[in-house]
Structure 1
Amino acid sequence: MTESLRQTDARCCAPDSRAVAARLAALSHPARIEILKHLSARNSCCCREVVDHLDLAQSTVSQHLKILVEAGLVRFAPDRQRSRYEVDRAALADVSASVTALVNSCCSGR
């Protein structure tokens, strides 16, 4: 992002709007949606399990997981030589509530 866009974001956008936008951006790739679906069906799993399920390169899955973790949608915990990943259900519920509130505020007059 360019410096002028960062300055504009800082002036016009509330911190909670920026947080929601960051989480929605993390959800904007089909592979990340599939990763969330896979993780949601389990308590937790390692990167290898996601790789096997999606048939993507390990490096690709790792990058997608990193984006989801940075957005706060997925948590990870070291487990010996691997990391275990799990969906942060509360964070996803917050995103859902934010989108619902946005839709309701924009479309309530219809």
Structure 2
Amino acid sequence: MNYLLLGVNILMLVCGQVLWKVGMSKVDFRISFKGIMNTLFNPYIFSGGIIYVFATVIWLYLLSKEQLSSIYPLQSLCYIVGAFAGVIIFNESLTISKILGLLLLFAGAVLVGMK
């Protein structure tokens, strides 16, 4: 059950990042009070933040049930899911070096996940 929740947590984190990426493409970000407020209250940025709040609640639950040294490295799967989200949603490129890096991340996550 905890690994299912970890999967949900990973998907929520990636969804939050995707929403933030979409939101940032729709705002003219400036380092000023008004610029920061406009960015934070952009519907995509705000929604991504809300998803992160719920993902954090799940993460806190997982920390209370599992070893940090086991579950924290598994969150590197966010990078893999995020990379594929970038390719699928934003038409980003997936180079050989990115693929090799993602495979290494996956292999590391598998090794850490083995108890």
TM-score (norm 1): 0.31
1 or 2 for the larger relative contact order (CA 8 Å, sep ≥6)? Answer: 2
